[in-house]
Amino acid sequence: MRDTNRPNLEDVAALAGVSTASISRCINNPKKVAEPTRLRIQKAIDSLGYMPHFGGRALAINRTNTVGAIIPSMENAVFASGLQAFQETLNDSKVTLLVGSSNYNASQEYDQIRSLLSQGADGLLLIGKDRPKKTLDFLEKHSVPHVLAWCFGKNISSPVVGFDNQKAAQKIADHVIALGHRKLAIIAGLREGNDRANERIIGIQDAQKTNPNVELVAIEECKYSFEEASAALDRILALNKNPTAIICSSDVLAVGAMLRAKELGLSVPNDISITGFDDINLAQVVTPSLTTVRVPQQEMGRKAAEVLLDLINPNLGKTAAQSVELMTTIINRGTLVSLQ
């Protein structure tokens, strides 16, 4: 039923003494309306405080200028600055961002996808490349424009903007090995439904395999919290295999392990080296500061937004949206020691 409180096109039209069509044109395509009329209309709009009704417009043009992003967790600083950059880039094109979080859970992600889409999202940003067939089918069936981030891969059918987790992990592991470490352990996120965690483990295993005299004494998976990482370190130490370096698949895990090591009276890196992944704020703050892998978050967010916008706008002569691979860098700080 009519909300008499909120002015609509007709009200503006009446006040300005023109038809609703002109108002609409004035808003969406100002050149199509003559100067004096435009001024009159603008005055009417201002004086009524008119704002176009979102639903009406969405219905008419079948587009919302809204995109959704579903990240595994909002609490995790890992995604924050990437998302911020994503949003800023969208805003430049007058597109609004809807955010959902999946809690690292595929079925929650599916629900969020449906929810954001039924909220009218024109496109989606998703994290990672592995998801259940059900989700994939859904995306395909509804031909949802989407881009994947925080991952990369050659034979993915969706556009991807990110980095190769496996290669990045292999690189840091190679680096650790090059410094003389021969007994490694891993603390990683739960692989289940998390391709990034999974590939990071595989990357480290790759590095180990190409160096036969390197031993991988433990692989511990846990949730991304200090407490869980702390417990994971305990489990590793309980094995009595004496790894000289622990490669963690996230800074949060690395810091959790460091905190625990400190509690146990172990010196990092003298007694044990620890490396992280992501290079979030935390990494610079711990003592010693964390040697880690820097992920180009901002660039990823920005580029992902560009690709998604391309996907949504049947664009004018521009090149089709393409996947882009970004590179990670190893940031050497204080938690990794050379054994040579």
Partner DNA sequence: TTAAAATATGTAAGCGCTTGCATGCAGGAA
Partner DNA sequence: TTCCTGCATGCAAGCGCTTACATATTTTAA
Supply angle C-alpha 325, 329, 332, rounded to 5: 170
By CB under 8 A, is residue 115 in contact with a second copy?
yes
Distance of closest approach, residue 165 Cβ to a second copy, in angstroms: 23
Residue 265 binds to a second copy (criterion: CB under 8 A): no
Selection from 336, 340, 339 nearest residue 173 by Cα: 336
Q: Which does residue 264 touch among a second copy, DNA, none (CB within 5 to 8 A, set by kind)?
A: none
Q: Which of 13, 16, 98, 237 is the binder for a second copy (CB under 8 A)?
A: 98
Report the partner that residue 332 touches, choosing among DNA, a second copy, none (CB closer than 5 to 8 A by kind).
none
Task: Report in angstroms how near the CB of residue 296 gets to a second copy at its nearest.
Answer: 15
Identity of the residue, 27 or 219, whose beta carbon is nearer to a second copy in the bound complex: 27
Q: Does 52 bind DNA (CB under 7 A)?
A: yes
Binding-site partner at residue 18 among DNA, a second copy, none, CB < 5 to 8 Å by type: DNA
Q: Measure the CA–CA gap between 292 and 269, rounded to whole angstroms.
A: 13
Which range, of 20-28, 141-149, 199-207, 223-231, touches DNA by CB under 7 A?
A: 20-28
Q: Which residues of the chain form contacts with a second copy (CB under 8 A)?
A: 1, 3, 5-6, 49, 51-60, 62, 64, 66, 73-75, 77, 80-81, 83-84, 87, 96-101, 114-120, 138, 141-143, 226, 255, 259, 262, 281-282, 284-287
